[in-house]
Amino acid sequence: MVNDADVVLEFQQVSKHYPGAEHPAVDEIDLVVRRGEFVTFLGPSGSGKTTSLNMIAGFVSPSSGRIVIDGSDICDLPPYRRNLGMVFQNYALFPHMTVWDNVAFPLVERKVPKAEIRRRVAAALELVHLGGLGKRYPRELSGGQQQRVALTRALVFDPPILLMDEPLGALDKKLRDTLQSEIRRVHRELGITFLFVTHDQEEAMALSDTVVVFERGAIQQIGAPDELYRRPRTRFVAEFLGESNLLDGHLERAGDTWLLRTADGAIPLDGWSAPRDVPPGGHCVLFRPEDVRITGPEDSAAVWRAEVREVVYLGSEERIVVSSESGVSLTVRTSGGTAPRRLRTGQTVGVRFVAQNAWLVPDGPVRSTTAPAAAPTS
């Protein structure tokens, strides 16, 4: 059970039905966010992330349910009374104000004494290394600098929660990486709760303590990045985060171990810790690309044979796509020296699986595209 004092934000059965829309944008979601946590809403476009964030900010009101911050339902409070920081994708700075005045604005609005404003704005600009740019106007700044100003303005009044909606979406890859580390550092130094929205799974994994995966207005899974990667509860989560090899087959007991029967042959799962209940019927077992090994075609311990379709050199590792005899495509990642040298497309290889890392996807046999948009039961 969560200690109440640790909880900063709670969604209780929150829904949003926009007038005229066929499906709810957000469908009865429950969520608990702990103080100081870095939480990311991750999901494809249209899955309800922005609507959820805007209900916290107060720009959208829920159709039903409660949103609780520090123990009180805030749904009747206008945005400015919620005292939350907000950063949008488009910088939304005041163009006619200098950087300094932009950052000072929330403090002026709150009637903070002048000397205190000077002190806090200077400290906030220092925090994001913009100390020398106070006199500039937004148009005199790069996109990355503008977004740092927006971040500073959202933090300067010490809000309990900072909300960010795809704040790095308009920046190029290199700048995005730099700002990601900056945001992580600021989170560490300030220790306040960050709620971040992105459709980019790598960004979500790199930044967050906890990722909330959205699909069609429902939460599919909530967990730490490694938990979502290693133990996805749905096929959708397995496919949305990182690369996945989802093998359809039947799990069978074989003495004290298990066997996955597939169209391409049985895969012995020695050392696999099976869940307590393996349901009867078809199963879907996940192997991540680093859990598949390519060997020589004569390897007697190989469990499948396959043909190499693609080899991509990525510097420190290779990404190889092979196709099994029955036509199942597998993505393999090998770091220097774990695959036979000079793989060529068209070549026949053996395939082994790292059995301990197999993961039975609980909702596996149901394809997410045909599943109802309700949260899975655990």
Q: Which does 152 bind (CB under 5 to 8 A by kind): Mg ion, ligand ADP, none?
A: none
Stretch that binds Mg ion, among 48-56, 103-111, 172-180, 360-368 (CB under 5 A): 48-56
Decide which of ligand ADP, Mg ion, none touches 47; Cβ closer than 5 to 8 Å per partner kind. Answer: ligand ADP
Report the distance separating Cα 45 and Cα 38, nearest Å: 21
Q: How far apart are CA 106 and CA 357, in angstroms?
A: 50
> What is the rounded CA–CA span in Å between residue 94 and residue 220?
38
Q: 105: which residues sit within 8 A by CB, 6+ positions away?
A: 94, 97, 153
Q: Number of residues in contact with ligand ADP, rule: CB under 6 A?
A: 11
Q: Contact between 58 and ligand ADP (CB under 6 A)?
A: no
Would you count residue 50 as binding Mg ion (CB under 5 A)?
A: yes
Smallest gap from residue 208 Cβ to Mg ion (A): 17
- Min. distance of Cβ 238 from Mg ion in angstroms? 23
Least distance from C-beta 27 to ligand ADP, angstroms? Answer: 10
Single out the segment in contact with ligand ADP by CB under 6 A; choices: 38-46, 120-128, 145-153, 254-262.
Answer: 38-46
Residue 71 φ/ψ region, left for φ over 0, alpha for ψ in the -120 to 50 degree band, beta for the rest: left
- Our finding on whether 152 is near Mg ion (CB under 5 A) is no
CB crowding 260-283: b at 16 or more within 10 Å, else e:
bebebbebebeebeeeeeeeeeeb
- Counting contacts by CB under 6 A, is residue 169 touching ligand ADP? no
The amino acid sitting at 31 is: L
Q: Are strands 304-313 and 348-353 parallel, antiparallel or unpaired?
A: antiparallel
With respect to Mg ion, which residue has the nearer C-beta, 50 or 210?
50
Asked if residue 52 binds Mg ion (CB under 5 A), the reply is: no
- The token duo for 202 is 């790598």
How big is the CA angle at 290 (ends 287 and 291), to the nearest 5 degrees? 40
What's the rounded Cα separation, in Å, for the pair 148 and 320? 39
Contact between 258 and 274 under an 8 Å Cβ cutoff? The reply is yes
121 binds ligand ADP (CB under 6 A): no
Select from 45-53, 116-124, 153-161, 179-187 the region that touches ligand ADP (CB under 6 A).
45-53
**188-207: contacts with Mg ion (CB under 5 A):** none
Under rule CB under 6 A, residue 49 binds ligand ADP: yes
Q: Where would I find the beta strands (DSSP E) of 140-192?
A: 161-165
Q: State the minimum distance, in angstroms, from the CB of residue 45 to ligand ADP.
A: 4
Contacted entry of ligand ADP, Mg ion, none for residue 198, CB cut-off 5 to 8 Å set by kind? none
Q: How far is CA 170 from CA 15, 94, 142, 183, 285, in A?
A: 29, 18, 12, 16, 37
Q: Which residues pair with 16 in a beta bridge?
A: 26
Give the nearest distance from C-beta 260 to Mg ion in angstroms.
Answer: 39
Q: Is residue 47 close enough to count as binding ligand ADP by CB under 6 A?
A: yes
- Residues 133, 99 contacting (CB under 8 angstroms): yes
Spatial separation of the C-alpha atoms in residues 302 and 296, rounded to whole Å: 8
**Minimum CB distance to ligand ADP smaller for 49 or for 153:** 49
Q: Which is nearer to Mg ion, 39 or 294 (CB)?
A: 39
Q: Which does 369 bind (CB under 5 to 8 A by kind): ligand ADP, Mg ion, none?
A: none
CB of 50 to Mg ion, least distance (A): 3
Nearest to ligand ADP of 89, 98 (CB atom): 89
Task: Give the one entry of Mg ion, ligand ADP, none that residue 218 binds, where binding means its C-beta sits below a cut-off of 5 to 8 angstroms depending on kind.
Answer: none
Distance of CA 302 to the CA centre of its chain: 35
Sheet with 265-268, side-by-side order of all strands? 265-268, 257-262, 245-254, 283-287, 359-360
H/E stretch holding 214 reads strand 210-215
Least Cα distance to 107 among 69, 154, 73, 64 occurs for 154
- If the CB atoms of residues 25 and 284 are measured against ligand ADP, the closer one turns out to be 25
Binds 80: which of ligand ADP, Mg ion, none (CB < 5-8 Å by kind): none
Positions in the binding site for ligand ADP (CB under 6 A): 18, 21, 25, 43, 45-51
Positions in the binding site for Mg ion (CB under 5 A): 50
